[in-house]
Amino acid sequence: MRLAVLVSGNGTNLQSIIDAIRERYIPKVEISFVVSSNSDAYALKRAEENGLRTVVVAKKELVSVLKPIFERVDLVVLAGFLWIIPDELLKIKPIINVHPSLLPLFGGKGMYGARVSGAIIASGMRISGPTVHLVTNDIDGGPIIMQKCMEVRDDDTPESLLERTHPLEHQILVEAIKQMSEKKYKIVGKRVIFP
């Protein structure tokens, strides 16, 4: 299964996929392209260090650059890519996204990073956790593939909560990719299942 992984920042989720491939936990998976919206992204360094093909994309050329890439892979992974994927790219290949909250809570336009964890703390919720879901034109609202739960601590800050969410993101992202590389999935209501 060939992946395009779309990034914009640190790239810890990208790294978790690279590591899982190297450890042969997802032996059917290879990363064909790493696409970044930001030429300074540390994620690009990680990609280059691992001999992966990298592409930097500008907002105005999103469709023309991404279309041929999407056509050449089997699955697109948004791993910290924050731009909305235009409608005309949504039907080419399945696209999954990792988000740092228990969707459908704390998602939607402009909700990323510490804005999400800050809103979780402000809400008073005692639990949190990341979500991996299929991308549709409903921002952060596509069918849910996997989630994992954790506690929100009394002394959590937006930064500490986000940092503790990261390892869980890595686990469920790799797990979702593994399932999708090994099985056919079905969308049942708002959920993705692997029958």
Distance CA 173, CA 158 (A): 22
Q: Is-contact 44 72, C-beta < 8 A?
A: no
**Selected catalytic residue, list 99, 133, 166, 170:** 99
Rule CB under 6 A: which of 83-122 touch ligand GAR? Answer: 98-100, 111-113, 116
Residue from 3, 4, 5, 11 touching ligand GAR (CB under 6 A): that is 11
13 binds ligand GAR (CB under 6 A): yes
What three-state secondary structure class fits 166? helix
| Whole-Å CA distances, 124 to 128, 130, 165, 176 | 11, 17, 17, 29
Residue 147 backbone dihedrals phi, psi, to 5 degrees: -140, 160
Residue from 169, 172, 176, 177 touching ligand GAR (CB under 6 A): that is 169
Residue from 69, 73, 79, 135 touching ligand GAR (CB under 6 A): that is 79
Residue from 34, 66, 73, 80 touching ligand GAR (CB under 6 A): that is 80
| Whole-Å CA distances, 147 to 19, 37, 86, 174 | 21, 26, 25, 12
Distance CA 169, CA 101 (A): 10
Stretch in the footprint of ligand GAR (CB under 6 A) among 2-10, 31-39, 64-72, 87-95: 2-10
Q: Is-contact 104 148, C-beta < 8 A?
A: no
Residue from 6, 9, 102, 135 touching ligand GAR (CB under 6 A): that is 9
129 binds ligand GAR (CB under 6 A): no
In the bound state with ligand GAR, the residue whose beta carbon lies nearer, of 9 and 142, is 9
Residue in the structure block whose two tokens are 């978790």: 16
In the bound state with ligand GAR, the residue whose beta carbon lies nearer, of 161 and 192, is 161
Shortest distance in whole angstroms from residue 185 CB to ligand GAR: 21
Catalytic residue list contains 99: yes
> Which residue's Cβ has the minimum distance to ligand GAR?
80
Residue 30, exposed/middle/buried by CB under 10 A (0-12, 13-18, 19+)? middle
Q: Which residues are catalytic?
A: 99
Question: Residues in the site for ligand GAR, rule: CB under 6 A?
Answer: 7, 9-13, 43, 79-80, 98-100, 111-113, 116, 169
